[in-house]
Structures are given as C-alpha cells and as structure tokens.
Chains A and B, each alone.
Chain A
Amino acid sequence: MKKISDITIIDDDAITVFGLRKLISTSIECNSIESYANGKIALDALTNFFNNNQQIPQIIFLDINMPIMDGWEFLEAFIELPITNKIRINIVTSSIDPRDKQQWEHYKDKSHHLITFNQKPIDRNKITEITQLA
C-alpha cells in the first residue's frame, strides 16, 4: 500500500475525532493526522497551506453538522481553491436526511476531487477502504 502522507479530520465532536484518529493510526501508515473543530478553522488552515505551497492533505474526513461553518459550506469554499491534485474527501455523518445525500451528489459532480458519502458507524474495514489515495 502506498503510504499516505497527510490526513485531516474536520469534526466538532471530540469523541468522533478521537475514534477516527485511533482507527486510522492502527489501520494504515501515515505521516500525520491533523484535526479541526469546524469548517472555518480547517478552511483557513488549508488555504494557508495552499498559499504557502505547503503540502495539502491527501485525505480529508469531513463532518456535516458543525458550528460556524458546516461541512457543505467548507466543501463549497474548498472546491473553489485551484488545487490540481486529486484530494479524497470522505464525508462522515450520522444523518439520514435524504437532502444531505442530494447535497453530496451535487458537490460530487461539481468537483474533480473524489468525494464519498459515509454513514456512521465507520469500522476498521471501512476505514481501510476509504483511506486509499484518490
């Protein structure tokens, strides 16, 4: 398996972040795992990386319901960044609202990044599957 260099988790729930970190770090090899508590902080950080020609994480785990800037607003802004690399964005949610699935399809078609929609709970097999490079 090709080694993943950077992974980012965007979620406001501390326990979910902890769980994902633990699952990822025990399933695959990667350099670093960063986490941000909402879309705004994450977007600021990633935009900063981009402007300074720093490495953009190859895989992003994204929650939908977050304060200040939610997952969709983050996606809207993120896909506007002129990033040529194909990034894998895994949406992770416990929502069963069909409108969320429609939103996902909307963004999936709009962007060249790989965007997947995953419903909680996420187990070890699922993590390995969705942590492949895009």
Chain B
Amino acid sequence: MFKAQNSSSFSLDWINQIPSSIVIIDTDFKLISASPRWQANFELDLNDIEGKYFLDLFPDLSQDFISRLKYSLDGLRDIKFKYNAKDNQYSSKDSVWHLNPWKDGYGNIIGVIIKVEPISKTQEIEIELNRTKLILNQKSSVAKIGSWEFDVLKEELNWTPVVNKIYGLSAKFEPNLEDAISYYTEESREVITKAIFEAINSGIPWNEKAQLKREDGIIIWVNTIGRPKFKDGKCTRIIGTIQHIQNETKPNIEVKDNALIEYPLFEKVPFGLAIIDFSNGNFLDVNNEFAKLTSFEKEHFLGHNFKNFINDTVKNKSTELIDELNEQGCFKPVKFTYTNQKKHNINIKMSGTLVEGTSGIKRVLCTFENITSQTKLERNLKNTITSSREKNEQLLNFAHMVSHNLKTHATNFSLLLNFLNDEAGKIQRNKYMNMLFSASDNLSETIRGLREIVAVKSSINEEKKLLSLNDCLFVVEQNVAGLLKETNGKIINEIPETTQVKALPAYLNSILTNCITNSIKYRCDDKKPIIILSIEENKNYTILSVEDNGLGIDLEKYGNELFGLYKTFHQNKKSRGIGLYITKHQVDAMNGKITVESKPNEGTTFRFHFNKK
C-alpha cells in the first residue's frame, strides 16, 4: 500500500510533456504510463494498455530483456537493450531501449523507465561495445558489493568477506546484527534501525545511503539495500547488499531534493535535462547527463544565463522560442552545434516545455540529445541522394539524346525507302540510293560520337597519374602534324620541361588533341593558325593555357552553351558538337576546371586547371 501511495503521489502528467519516447512499468512489469511519442511509435493507445502486463504487449521479447528488467530493478542504471522490430508485432523500426530504475521520492525502486531511441548502424556497434563493457563493470562492481543475509528468527547475520573489507574488519570477524549496526554513524544508525524495523514489520524494502565508521576510524558512504522475505505471512529473512560509494555524497543530493521531488525522473533519464528560469533565462538545475554532454561541471551553468552557452544562431532564435513558449507552452526541437569543454563539436537537438511548478513559478524544462552520429548519417545520406539524383538526370538526358539521334536517322531511312519504292525512273532511284548511303554514314557517325561519350562516362574510376605535359604534347603534335602542315600552322610551346600534371593519360591526350584541332579547324581564313601553350601555377592547380588566333566565339551569346552537347557555333562541315562536351566531362572527372576567354575574329584562350591532388 505504501508503495502505491508513493507512486501515485508523483504527478505522472508530466510524462505527456516529455518529447521523447518513454514508457514506465512497475515492479510487477505492469505498464504505468507512456509518453505520447511512445504511444505513436508502437501504435498503442495508453487507455487500452494502462495496467497491462508489459510482456503481454511484447510477447516475443527475449529472456534477455526480462533479466535486464530485473537488473534495472536491482538499481543498475542505463541498461541498453536492442529491440528487433521484425520479431515483434508492433513498430516497424529497430530501436534501442534504455532501461533505468524508477524511484520514488525516498529512493525506493518502484519500477523501470524505458526510453526508446531509433537505432543507427553506429549505435549498433556501440551497443556491442557497451555489452562487453557492462560485463566487465559487473565483474568489478561485484567485487565491491558485499551481500548479507539476516535470519530474523534465529537473529543470525551472515555476510560475504567483501563486507568485512568494507567495514575494515579482518576476514575472521563474525558479525551479529548489533555489531553491524553499531558501525554506522549516529544519524545513519537511526535510519538503518528504522529501515530494518519497517522491513520486518511492514515488509518494506530499503535502499539507503548511509555513513559508516570503519574499524580504522575512516568514515565512508555506503549504499545498503535490504529486501525482506516472507514465509506464511511472517518476515523470516532479510537479504541485501552493501556497497562502498565514493562519488555520490549525501549533501549534494539534499540540495537537489527540491528539484527531485518535482521532477522525479530528473537524474534518471538518459538524456540531458536543464531547468531554466523563464523570467530571466538563468539555469536553475541541470542533470548529470547534461554535464556529461557538455563535459563541464554542473556548477559551470547553475545561476548563469543560458545565452552565455549557445552560439549566435540559436541566440538569434531565442526570441522566437520564447514566443513559441508563450503561445504554445513548448517549442519545436531546435538543432545546433555545441563545442564542449573537450573542444569537440557535437550536434544537439534541444526541445523545451514550459512548466509551472507547485510554487507557481514558470520554468522551462529543456531536453538535450546528442544527435552527432545521426546528423553525420543524415548528411551522408543527403549527399548520396543528391549525387544519385544527378546521375539519374544525366542518364535520362542521355537516353533522350540517344533516342532522338537514332530516331532522326530511322525516319530518314524510312522516308527515302518509301520514295525509292514509289520511283521507277533510274536516275531518280540512283539519287535516292546515294542519299541512303549518306544517311547510313550519318548514322555511323552519330553512333561513333555516342560511343566516345559513353567511354568518358565509364572510365571515371581509373586513377590519375603524374604525367610530363611535354611528353604528352609531343605525341599529340605528331598526330596533328598533317593538319598543321596543310594549314601552315605553328605551335609555340612555352611549357617548361619539368612541368607535370596529375591526369588520366587517355584524357590528357584527348583534351590536348581536341583543343589543338579546334584551334586549327576554326582558324581565320586569312591567317595562319598560331597556337601558344603556356603554364601558370597556383596553390591547387597547374593551369595550361592554349591560346589561338582563330575565329573566336561570342561568349556573351554562347557562353552558357559552349560545352553543351551538339552545340556548334560555326558553319563547318566537321562540327559535331561533341568535342568540347567531352573535354568538359574529362576535366570535371579529374576534379579540374576550364575557363575560356575569346573575342570573335581575334582568337580564343582555353585555360585547363589540373588539380594537384
């Protein structure tokens, strides 16, 4: 009865304000309450499931889970459990369940709080790691926890040698109840005596922090837990543990008591919590998780204005948030980056609710979740989506292009064949035959162009090599020698012998050949083509300039289309509109850049930026 009163004396209403997915169950594993998010996650309505046996709702949960629940009831904090959605009828998502003991205002464990978080791959690995750690921790803490048993009827006390160590007694010392109690300090002695009395007479278990004066005179804090066992309505035995605790000190807990009574889950939830005075924005209290997140001591925040700890982006938003709090009583989750004391940047998701305490003072309860790993995954996913969308677009463009090109030739063939079929005259028929031949040549030419484009797209995965630019240029010069001689052209090479660029050999050859042939192809009729090659260097790029005295191009008019497929700008039978398109793709594929300067009838300068990386 006492327990029941205790649990109902908390207002559990505030679970409705928690933005996280949380369910609370009692020591008999009956469902007490669940946050709206949890209900949504598992498509369950609190009205239907309140008071139900939790394991009936999730019948497929393993024995593993049940033993974790029991650990949690024994006081172990933040036990993680991986929930596999596919084994269970509710919720389609795998998640991580954080189990924490639920305590009443007197520190009695009266149930388990389970927080459900979505799972990510990184977390999965983390859990594996933590499981190993947990086992190790259990081993080490088992060494520190002493257990004891008191036979009420025989008034016999037995304990393990660890208890002797905690008391600072020799291993031979055999205890009795009176001795055991007498080592507590006066204040604690009262507490323990009362606890034992209540355990025997009312069946109430205890979980107390008490001060023990060891045999050697040193005063230490211990955590003592006792559970009465009944037989035929009478308490026959009490079993329990005693553990030396160093880090937790009683006074600290007393200071926090006010907050604890109002927010019983404050220190128990596995995410950062902060209570901020709504009137002035000062931190009233933060929990241990919050301190862990920021890697600062709690004192770093208490009494200081929250604005001192957030970056400008959130600061600028704070008026908005205050408006939201005033209007709706809460604000939507805000994501921001926080640099903690270790100078690590972490991504935080913050949400907040306005709560009115018993005293009528308005406070903001803020939750802080570390979403760094989620954010990273999200970013990777976004990048992947963007790049696959681009690829898709390119493919579609390519499909349109191919079908357009082939259809043009197909219709030409059918047109000519129809004419040929209707025509009896030999001269006319010959004319159609000649046209058919030229149509077939055109088709071959188109297919050759498409093959070149496909070749560029498919060799992107090859590795770049450090190449001597002049060696490569020498090969290209041999290839265009005939063309140069025919047009009386000249190549002036100002590239230093030592210049090297990082490039794919085939691409570099293709780029140089294409650029030089273009310079010759689009020469001014009245001038001999002159091509000047030179090099500039900057931090990231080796820049090859190819300058000619050719026809040039009106960049204001055609600048946007210069590298487009099938874009031609001069009346020249040899123009296909493929060369610069391919060049651009090749340069892009090597993480380079192309810039162009040109004046009609004066010449063009292409600058190829070869990335040094």
Contacts and interface: CB of A to CB of B under 8 A. Distances in A.
B411 A67 contact: no
Interface stretch (B118-126, B251-259, B313-321, B400-408): B400-408
A67 B404 contact: no
Contacts of B577: 67
Contact of A22 (B407, B412, B419): B419
Nearest to B566: A65
Given A65-B566, A67-B577, A19 B412 contact: yes
Interface in B386-412: 400, 403-404, 407-408, 411-412
Interface in A47-98: 65, 67-68, 93-97
B438 A97 contact: no
A1 interface: no
Interface in B422-478: 435, 438-439, 442
Given A15-B435, A68-B571, A120-B411, A96 B404 contact: yes
Interface in B552-601: 566-571, 575, 577
Instruction: Using C-beta atoms within 8 Å of the partner chain, give the interface range for chain A.
Output: 10 to 19
A117 to B, nearest CB: 14
A16 B569 contact: no
Interface string A9-23: 000011110110010
Contacts of A67: 566-569, 571, 575, 577
Instruction: Using C-beta atoms within 8 Å of the partner chain, give the interface range for chain B.
Output: 20 to 34
Contacts of A96: 400, 403-404, 407
A16 B412 contact: yes
What's the dominant secondary structure at chain B's contact region?
A: helix
A94 B411 contact: yes
B15 interface: no
Contacts of A97: 400, 404
Contacts of B415: 15-16, 19, 121
A95 B569 contact: no
A8 to B, nearest CB: 19
Contact of B408 (A18, A37, A68, A94): A94
A25 B407 CA distance: 24
A94 B566 CA distance: 15
B400 A68 contact: no
Given A68-B571, A95-B400, A120-B411, A15 B416 contact: yes
A14 B415 CA distance: 13
Nearest to A19: B415
Interface string A36-47: 010000000000
10 contacts: A14-B438, A15-B435, A18-B435, A19-B415, A67-B568, A68-B569, A94-B404, A94-B411, A97-B400, A120-B411
Interface of B: 400, 403-404, 407-408, 411-412, 414-416, 419, 435, 438-439, 442, 566-571, 575, 577
